[in-house]
Each structure stands twice: as structure tokens, then as C-alpha cells.
Amino acid sequence: MFKLSGIAAAAVSINLAAGVGLAAAAQADPAAGYPSRPIRLIVPYPPGGSVDFTAREVAAKLTEAWGQQVVIDNRGGAGSTLGHGLAAKAAPDGYTLLLGTSAGLVVAPSLGVKVSYDPLKDFASVGHAVNAPFGMTLHASVPAKNVKEFIDVAKAQPGKFNFGSPGTGTPNHLGGELLKALAGINIVHVPYKGGGPALTDLLAGQLHMMFAGLPQTWPHVKGGRVKIVAVGHPTRTRAAPDLAPVSDTVPGFNNTSWYGLLAPAGTPRAIVNKINAEMNKALASAEFEKRLLAQGVEPESSTPQGMHDKIKSESTRWRKVIKDAGISVDAML
């Protein structure tokens, strides 16, 4: 039998010990070699729009930082709940991520829509990414230049004014219901099958008011067909700094869509923290912020726990709005 010399045997022992030590270290810190292959980022909407744009911007930054491709996987359908469900069932290894939205994480579950996931239990929150504030948009014929004047004319003529939305139970609709409840006004909801048809009727004067995305309405403000009198976000936004928030007139009003990064539940905390740190670094970049603001979305970072807490608090808030307004899943069918 071949026998190692004393020196050779000692060297082998050292190498084996080193290998065992490296393996133990890798097991203790699963983020040490992460990522070692491409990452899939599920976007719960078709290509185009602010959700897809935000995902592609985040993916580009993570790809640049890690040298591993972050591949966009658009999985639209069922009001964004399809994509959320796919992400919840993925392997919890850090190689499948989700750009989750308030619509899929908060609004649909709060309405009682049957979804295949639990927003708090089936995801590991990574971090908040952006806010997408709505503009309170009036047709040019409405005799009001600000929120107070609109409330005054609505109170003077109950039931005369209407507001549109892309459909019952959408964040746009819930914003109108929240305004009705907090301001004590009677305005009539008109649901549409999508934001495009609703905006078309607003421009034509068939609708009086709508909580609409800022990028979609800005060109028409310049054309004089509509006027944006406030933003739904509770504070002034960097995307539209000249617009006062509705909450200045109606305390407690908050109607802002938002998107955040999540992973399947069980994803190692070290990997979650590594992704969070890199994403927050990107969100702090002036160039990155400029690109997002141009699309009407405002970057906002958080810790993983902060994102988890946001889902929880927003769910509580919107469940109350939905209950008080008497909105149900049946009304959406």
C-alpha cells in the first residue's frame, strides 16, 4: 500500500480541514456565493406600464452589480394575482424574485378575492421599491380648482358628479370611495374594463373625476382637457412637487399604489438582506431616481421588515375602506 510521508499527510489533513471549513462557512452564510447563476424576476403584469418599467430598471441595476443576469418574466393575469401566486410557489433559494404590487398583495386579498397565496405568510419581504401616486383629476368643465372646491360643489349637488375607475375594487376605485367617506360627499362610481376607456370618457366629459396615473394624464393637462388638483399620496411627491396632497384638505386620505421586491417564504435571510442592500443602493442613485421620476413613480427604500409591516398595515387600512364602502367581490363580476 502507498503511504504518505509525514509532511504529505499533514498537508492533506490541512487541505481537508480547509475544505470542511469552507463548506461549513458556505452553509453558515448562504449569501457568500450568491448569485452564482441567473435570477428570474416575475412581473405580475404584461410588458409596458410602470410596474414593468420599474422591474426592468431594478433588474438592470442588480445585473450590473452582480454580473449575473436578472431575467424579467412577465406573468400578467387575474388582476396581478397570477404572477404573485407563481412566485409564492417557487423554490426559496433566492433565484426567483417578485416585483409585488399593492393590488396583488393588499387590494385583492382585502376584497376577499380567492388567491393562491397569503401575502404575509407565503413571501419573504425584501424591500419597498417605489410609490406610484395617483392624481385627483377633474374634467375641465368641473367648477373646481382644488380639492376643497370640488367637495363644496359635490355637497351642494349630491349625486350629480361621478368618478370613474378601471374597475370595481381597483386602487383607483378605492381612492374615490375613501374620498367619499372622509369628505362626506355623494359622488357616483362608474366602473370600466380598464384604465384606457375610463380616461377616454374623462377626456370626453362623460366622467367628472378620476384618480388616474400621473404619466397618463399630464399630456392632457397641457392640452387643457383635464386638471390635476392634488395627489393621492399623503405628502408632496418628487414626481409632482407642485401638487398638494388631498390629505391637506381631507386629513387621513392616502391613495397610492406601490411596488416592492419579494421572494418565496423560506428564502435564507442572508440572501434577502443581500438583495435588499443592493436594491437600496440602486434606489439611492440620483440617475436611477431621475429615470423613475420621469415615469411618475417615486423610489422609496425600506428594510425587509419595513416592507412586511407595510403589507400588514395597508391590508388593515384598506379592509376598513372596503367594509365601510360596502364593496364586495360579487360587485366585480
- What confidence score (pLDDT) does residue 16 get? 52
* Cβ count near 38 (within 10 Å): 11
Provide, rounded to the nearest whole percent, the portion of the chain with pLDDT above 90: 73
Dihedral sign from CA coordinates of 222, 228, 230, 235? negative
Domain boundary among 255, 284, 299: 255
3-class secondary structure per residue, 127-142: EEEEEEEEEEEEECCC
Residue-wise pLDDT for 238-283, tens only, equals: 888 999 999 999 999 999 999 999 999 999 999 999 999 999 999 9
pLDDT band for 201, please (50, 70, 90 cuts).
very high
- 147 and 182: one domain? yes
Average pLDDT over residues 125-153: 97
Rounded CA-CA distance 258/96 in Å is: 20
- What confidence score (pLDDT) does residue 7 get? 52
- 247 and 262: one domain? no
- 267 and 126: one domain? yes
Domain contains 49:
yes
Average pLDDT over residues 140-167: 96
Domain contains 25:
no
Domain contains 17:
no
Average pLDDT over residues 78-82: 87
- 273 and 310: one domain? yes
Within 13 Å and on the Cβ side, how many CA atoms surround 48?
2
- 119 and 156: one domain? no
Domain contains 18:
no
- 171 and 194: one domain? yes
pLDDT band for 25, please (50, 70, 90 cuts).
very low
Domain boundary among 226, 255, 284: 255
Domain contains 10:
no
Residue-wise pLDDT for 94-129, tens only, equals: 999 999 999 999 999 998 889 999 999 999 999 999
Domain contains 22:
no
Rounded CA-CA distance 127/124 in Å is: 9
Domain boundary among 215, 236, 255: 255
Domain contains 180:
yes
Domains of the chain: total: 2
- 118 and 140: one domain? no
- 240 and 91: one domain? no
Rounded CA-CA distance 181/268 in Å is: 43
- Segment of 94-108, 169-183, 184-198 carrying the highest mean pLDDT: 94-108
- Which distant-in-sequence residues (6+ apart) come within 8 Å of 32 by Cβ? 25, 26
Residue 81, domain extent: 39-132+257-325
Average pLDDT over residues 34-40: 97
Domain contains 24:
no
- What confidence score (pLDDT) does residue 30 get? 80
Rounded CA-CA distance 110/178 in Å is: 15
- The domain that holds 44 is classified in CATH as 3.40.190.150
- 318 and 234: one domain? no
In the predicted model, is pLDDT for residue 22 greater than 60? no
- The domain that holds 235 is classified in CATH as 3.40.190.10
